[in-house]
Structure 1
């Protein structure tokens, strides 16, 4: 039976830690680059939450539903048209449709 030297073990452990750290950084960057935008999803195209009687992704009942959201590039939500919104644009939180 061949024994693993401490140096080989340390090298393998270091490589594994580097991979874990880099994938965590990529995940964090992805989360920072998008935001939830309420009132911009089309019927059945929401990413999640669509009010009572629905489950999650793809369950919105109408276009631009005020309590369903879609992930959009950060900083673009409040510039995206939403005919149901009081401002006429997507919102960062649920709103009451006009």
Structure 2
């Protein structure tokens, strides 16, 4: 019995490689789970807050560590586990 030699054109090989690479890149994005977050006040380092405060208009502008009006976003349920943290601003 003879074995047939299979020949693939460069276009077919390139298409196959592109398909594998595309799947590898896109698969993790579709599998990503959306995590619920909450604002956690009083724990951000100076200049590391996530959004505006009562004293400033932009993210990253808090002037002191632990500013009670500055928050960072954390996974829901995490803030209550941190000493000195609050779910609401105490301005």
TM-score norm. by structure 1 comes to: 0.53
Q: Which whole-Å CA distance do the structure 2 matches of 1:90 and 1:18 have between them?
A: 42
User: What secondary structure, in the 3-state scheme, does the structure 2 residue paired with 1:75 have?
Assistant: coil
Greater gyration radius:
2
Aligned Cα root-mean-square deviation (Å):
3.1
Maintained 8 Å contact 2:48/2:59 = no
Count of residues paired in the alignment: 81
Deviation at 1:71, TM superposition (A): 4.1
Structure 1 unmatched runs, 5+: 83-88
User: What secondary structure, in the 3-state scheme, does the structure 2 residue paired with 1:70 have?
Assistant: strand
TM-score norm. by structure 2 comes to: 0.56
